[in-house]
Amino acid sequence: MNKISIQNFSLQYSDGTESLRNISLDIPANQITVLFGPAGGGKSSLLRVLNRLNDLADVIHQEGKVLLDGEDVLSPKIDVIALRRKVGMVFARPVVLPFSIRKNLTYGLEVAGEKDSDRINGSVENSLQQAALWDEVKDRLDDPAIALSGGQQQRLCLARVLALEPEVILLDEPTSGLDPISTGKVEESLQGLKQDYTIILVPHSVQQAARTADLAAFLLQGELVEVASGDTMFTNPRDQRTQDYVQGRFG
């Protein structure tokens, strides 16, 4: 069963950048799907459509369907707030809210109107465990989140998403500002998380795409050039353009 089904989706911004042309892509559940390609290819845009964060941008034309569990998320009848809890996002630069570590995690539940304090407190530990951060911060949950290192902050951002018990996790170049060890920790966390969540990742390098992809989709200037399993995409891609990019001959 495909978790997300993008059908003939096209998008144009008012300034003409990063548009998408007739994208059709099925994203399976409980796998890591990677959207990779050179800059400006539309990967981030596509990601932001999935949680309707794109609504904040200046879009002049949009058509097609994006189905999540069979429902079109682009329909005006959709509860966008609920969608954003179901489909969480981790951004490129870790952005922690100006609160304590604990409050960063409870913020999402608070704005959702969650009152049960047991549930709220439970989610703090649970999400930090899943993000492999619990041991490092369990004694200082009330310290300001800004005091954490870059890698820890990014894992906090991941925990923040997990606290809302989403079904899909979107990650937009999540390790681009991190050192190699932190990058490795995040990548390995994803391997564990995919058992319970559907993960869609825009990697910051072809190597990261190769290390993490179960399914890989190559986007070039708004066009979906090729989709293949991770093993195939990086050892034997079909399209010449994919081949050139994967080999590092352009980008």
Choose, by CB under 8 A, the member of 13, 26, 67, 91 that binds other proteins: 91
Q: Which CB, 22 or 93, lies closer to other proteins?
A: 93
- The SS3 of residue 52 is coil
88 contacts 47 by C-beta, under 8 angstroms = no
Q: Which of residues 121-180 bind other proteins (CB under 8 A)?
A: 144-146, 157, 160-161, 164
For the record, the structure tokens of 71 come out as: 């429902």
Q: Which of residues 35-64 bind other proteins (CB under 8 A)?
A: 51, 53, 56
What is the DSSP code (8-state) at residue 42?
Answer: S
Minimum Å distance from CB 17 to other proteins? Answer: 18
Q: Is 202 in the site for other proteins (CB under 8 A)?
A: no
Candidates 6-14, 82-90, 118-126, 220-228; binding stretch for other proteins (CB under 8 A)? 82-90
Mind spelling out the 3-state secondary structure of 8-27?
A: EEEEEECCCCCCEEEEEEEE
Alpha helix ranges (H) inside 34-175: 43-50, 80-86, 101-111, 117-130, 134-137, 150-162
Choose, by CB under 8 A, the member of 37, 41, 42, 88 that binds other proteins: 88
Give dist(CA 112, CA 40) in Å, integer: 34
Q: Which CB, 25 or 87, lies closer to other proteins?
A: 87
Could you please report the per-residue DSSP string of 167-233? SEEEEESTTTTS-HHHHHHHHHHHHHHTTTSEEEEE-SSHHHHHHH-SEEEEEETTEEEEEEEHHHH
178 contacts 187 by C-beta, under 8 angstroms = no
Minimum Å distance from CB 111 to other proteins? Answer: 4
Q: Is 76 in the site for other proteins (CB under 8 A)?
A: no
Minimum Å distance from CB 4 to other proteins? Answer: 17
Q: Is 67 in the site for other proteins (CB under 8 A)?
A: no
Can you give the binding site for other proteins, defined by CB under 8 A?
Answer: 51, 53, 56, 81-82, 84-85, 88-89, 91, 93, 95, 97-99, 107-108, 110-112, 144-146, 157, 160-161, 164, 181, 184-185, 188, 191, 207, 210-211, 213, 230-231, 234-235
